[in-house]
Structure 1
Amino acid sequence: MVDKQIGIHDANTSAKSSEKSGEKTPDLVKSGVGVLDKAALILDTLEKGPCSLSQLVNDTGLARPTTHRLAIALERHRFIARDQQGRFTVGARFAELATVAGEDRLLTSAEPILQTLLERTGESAQIYRRQGDQRVCIAAVERASGLRDSIPVGAMLSMEAGSAAHILLAWEDSEHMHQGLRRAQFTAQTLNTVRRRGWSESINEREKGVCSVSAPIRNASGHVIAAISISGPVDRMGISPGRHYAPLVMKAGKYLSDAMARV
């Protein structure tokens, strides 16, 4: 009986506190961590489509200061983004986490594709996904001999240079794209070109004497979740590697995108 009375007292206290702040009592899934429950409620609401701050307040029943504070915090962690109208939307971080969750499926399909890409181009091939402010190599095959760009699985590379970085940043929301460009060795015009033609190349950008060509891998929703690349010495791949290799890299990326869509 005492436990029940305490529970009722706590609920009444919480309700009175909400009334004093002007906040409606929303129908939250209770985890015992109030701020997490409210953040989840905001994300559940954004799952239905983009929302202005006023719409979020109305749909969640949370107080405006609470909604704004949590939305900005979630935006900083890239779980929330902004569209061109400034509305809140689900952010790119979810696509990255989904990539990790589905990485085994991607890698199962990727192994023969990377090997085929190596055989047809003669160059090392890799797959990268974004991990925060870096990119990680999750699959790779290398030339058996001769000069090669050796990047082992698990290697962490900067998002500031290289054709794979172009791909992983080009389809980000505008705010995070501009944040990424602040320290980048490439420009917004580079990313505009990448989006227009669907592939990217870099020459002497990540490392002197090395060039690469990359294309996107998308999930069933069309979000870019990874980049597939070939890389090697400029002396062998030439100063316009995309002209020769982009069709093959794009075809490999499309095959893996189609495979992910079938999952």
Structure 2
Amino acid sequence: MEKNEKQDHLLSSVTNALRILRSFSMEQPELRVSDLAVSLGLSKSTVSRLLATLAHEDFVVKSPETNRFRLGLSVLALSGAATSNLEIHREAQHILFELVKELGETAHICVLEGMDTLYLHKVECKHPVRILTHYGKRNPAYCTSSGKVLLAYQSKEFIEKMLENGLKSVTKYTTTNPDEFRENLKTIREQGFAYSKNELLEGVVSIAAPVRDYSGKVVAAITVVGPAERIQPYKIRPYAKKIISASLEISDRLGFWR
């Protein structure tokens, strides 16, 4: 009997967690604990506990400005099919294909989730390099060009919190010095793109540029990735110029007014 009661409790928790996720909508993208407690007929303590669990797994995110919760990107990472309804994915798809066709290298759309860069879409070239990227794949933001572009436009508090956790070496070329990393982000903001070589995987080069929404906020990054023998140093700025152009085109489609 005790075992069945425990199982029923666990199933009830799962059911209520799913009910919380289903409560978010286009009309109500952000909800307070009290809103959820009333609409679902649960106690505030139960809702808070479930939200904390969902937040730990990145299924919900708490806004520091409003203290309300919204859906996290782990919801998208569950399935590549989920991204087909994402506006960035929809608007970027054709542009990524054209970019791959022009540069001959694989292109991605990435977003920042926590301290990681998350891949929402990928268009491969004819001769892709094996870099283990796919829908929903995460990589440390600080050692990827897409991640560094996204980090460059975060608040100083966010960056300092990340640096407090330390920058661990993924390869011997990974930037781990906090001062050097801060200077790197400053350069990225000034030039409008990020460049990474050997930092995540030796022999691999990536270049990324920011994508902005209608408010001007950087919400994603376009990154082009290829082997170092193909993306030689003299190609970096010409490639970056084309990637920036593509990122601006996607930004325009998202309502960004330059």
* TM-score, normalization by structure 1: 0.61
CA distance in 1, matches of 2:200, 2:211: 21
Q: Secondary structure at the match of 2:254?
A: helix
**Counterparts in 2 of 1:221 and 1:208: CA distance versus 1, 3 Å:** same
- Judged with a 3 Å threshold, the aligned counterparts in structure 2 of structure 1 residues 188 and 219 are, in CA distance, closer, same or farther, namely same
- Encode CA deviations 1:190-232: one digit per residue, 9 max, x unaligned: 0000111111101111111101100011111111111110000
What SS does structure 2 have at the residue aligned with 1:196? helix
- Residue identity matched to 1:131: E
| CA–CA separation in structure 2 for the residues paired with 1:122 and 1:226 | 22
Q: CA deviation at 1:153?
A: 1.8
Q: Distance in 1 between matches of 2:242 and 2:131?
A: 18
TM-aligned CA deviation for residue 163 of structure 1: 0.7
- C-alpha distance in 2, partners of 1:245/1:164? 15
Q: Which moved more, 1:102-111 or 1:126-135?
A: 102-111
Give the counterpart of 1:213 among 197, 207, 217.
Answer: 207
**Match among 177, 188, 191 for residue 194 of structure 1:** 188
- Spell out structure 1 runs of 4+ moving beyond 4 A: 32-36, 93-97, 99-103, 146-150
> Do residues 203 (structure 1) and 197 (structure 2) align?
yes
Q: Could you tell me which amino acid in structure 1 is paired with residue 135 of structure 2?
A: V
Specify the code of the residue in structure 2 equivalent to 1:203: K
Unaligned runs of at least 5 residues, structure 1: 1-27, 37-76, 81-88
Of the three residues 130, 136, 144, the one matched with 2:126 is: 144
Shift of 1:256: 0.8
Which secondary structure does the structure 1 equivalent of 2:233 belong to?
A: coil
What do you get for the CA RMSD once the two structures are aligned?
3.1
Matched, 1:164 2:158: no
CA contact (8 A) 1:199 1:213 kept: yes
Q: CA deviation at 1:160?
A: 2.7
> Is 1:106 aligned to 2:104, yes or no?
no
Say whether 1:176 aligns with 2:151. no
Alignment of structure 1 residues 89-100 onto 2, 5 Å: 89=65
Rounded Cα–Cα distance in structure 2 between residues aligned with 1:94 and 1:223:
17
TM-score when normalising by structure 2: 0.62
Q: Aligned partner of 1:208: which letter?
A: E
Structure 2 segments unaligned to the other structure (5+ residues): 1-33, 47-60, 77-81, 168-173, 176-180
